[in-house]
């Protein structure tokens, strides 16, 4: 196990001296460990090039498996049958977008600060299709998203109901009167490129009718949307829950001019953690915060 820790440090740093410092050992000891690793795996693992030390294909192949082993071992060593949130220093890793994060994280942190000051959150954002794989590989504790395809090793629970609405600045030419399909399609639009909500609830619905929006700009994050809408005549499609928060920031929301169903933000977790006191506590906190949010 110690050799695997050293291997991981070497893969991260690609430098013997820096890898030694990373795990608080001497440079000669790390050099010796690299020699033992080369013998163990029957491969050079790291080779010197003009650009420094580079991993061999075998080392790259081993790297992901080693990280999983170390992560799972850390979880095992940190687990406790009697989880006490008030004294725990556990870190939970959660995948959620900045959109959902803006709804859930303030309430989560208020509760953690009060009831579990030692617990921390590591919030990541990754593409939905990669999220399930990361969850299965134990790189994540929870995923907050919707309509993700998954196998029996993962369970999902409803977290928040929501729907998509059309958003624009106060005073926009289309802010008065009913939003018709023609007005919607004639306007220029902003789209959040990493979000599946635009594609599933807007673009795919329009495409089924042989229609499409005029996309002027794709942005990678929801954080950019309010300012972009306030400063332009672009239309955007946002979560109704987010839209309700933006009404105090110079944004007007209207129903979309075509039918869009409600959807559920879900919390996904591994089935094998169902009896984990720590996971159950954190999931209950997420659900409780979601239940207190205004619609």
Q: Domains (ranges, CATH) in the chain?
A: 2-78 (1.10.10.10), 91-161+264-292 (3.40.190.10), 164-261 (3.40.190.10)
Confidence of residue 83 (pLDDT cuts 50, 70, 90): confident
Could you report the per-residue pLDDT of 54-67, keeping only the tens digit for each?
A: 999 999 888 888 88
Of 204, 200, 205, 169, the closest CA to residue 187 belongs to: 169
Q: Rounded CA gap, 73 and 264, in Å?
A: 34
pTM over 0.75: no
Q: Rounded CA gap, 115 and 108, in Å?
A: 10
**Hunting for tokens 């939003």 — which residue is that?**
179
- Tell whether the torsion through CA atoms of 196, 197, 199 and 200 is positive or negative: positive
Average per-residue pLDDT for the chain:
88
Residues ≥6 apart with Cβ < 8 Å to 224: none
**Higher pLDDT, residue 79 or 285:** 285
pLDDT of residue 139: 84
Give me the residues paired with residue 92 across strands: 121
Residues ≥6 apart with Cβ < 8 Å to 50: none
Confidence of residue 190 (pLDDT cuts 50, 70, 90): very high
């Amino acid at each position: 196990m110690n050799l695997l820790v050293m291997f991981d440090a070497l893969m991260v740093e690609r430098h013997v001296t820096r890898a030694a410092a990373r795990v608080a050992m001497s440079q000669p000891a790390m050099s010796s460990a690299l020699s033992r690793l080369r013998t163990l795996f029957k491969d050079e693992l790291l080779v010197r090039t003009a650009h420094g030390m580079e991993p061999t294909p075998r080392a790259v192949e081993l790297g992901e498996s080693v990280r999983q082993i170390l992560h799972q071992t850390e979880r095992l060593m940190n687990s406790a049958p009697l989880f006490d949130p008030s004294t725990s220093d556990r870190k939970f890793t959660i995948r959620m977008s900045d959109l959902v994060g803006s709804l859930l994280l303030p309430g989560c942190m208020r509760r953690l600060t009060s009831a579990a000051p030692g617990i921390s959150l590591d919030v990541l954002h990754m593409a939905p299709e990669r999220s399930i794989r990361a969850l299965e590989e134990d790189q994540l504790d929870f995923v907050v998203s919707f309509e993700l395809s998954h196998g029996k090793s993962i369970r999902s629970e409803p977290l928040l109901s929501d729907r998509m609405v059309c958003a624009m600045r106060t005073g926009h030419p289309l802010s008065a009167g009913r939003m018709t399909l023609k007005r919607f399609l004639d306007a220029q639009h902003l789209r959040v490129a990493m979000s599946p909500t635009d594609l599933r609830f807007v673009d795919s619905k329009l495409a089924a009718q042989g229609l499409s929006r005029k996309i002027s700009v794709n942005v990678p994050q929801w954080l950019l949307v309010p300012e972009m809408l306030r400063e332009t005549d672009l239309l955007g499609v946002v979560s109704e829950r987010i839209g309700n928060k933006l009404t105090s920031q110079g944004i007007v929301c209207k129903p979309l001019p075509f039918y869009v169903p409600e959807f559920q933000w879900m919390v996904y977790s591994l089935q094998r953690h169902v009896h984990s006191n720590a996971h159950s506590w954190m999931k209950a906190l997420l659900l409780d915060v979601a239940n207190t949010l205004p619609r």
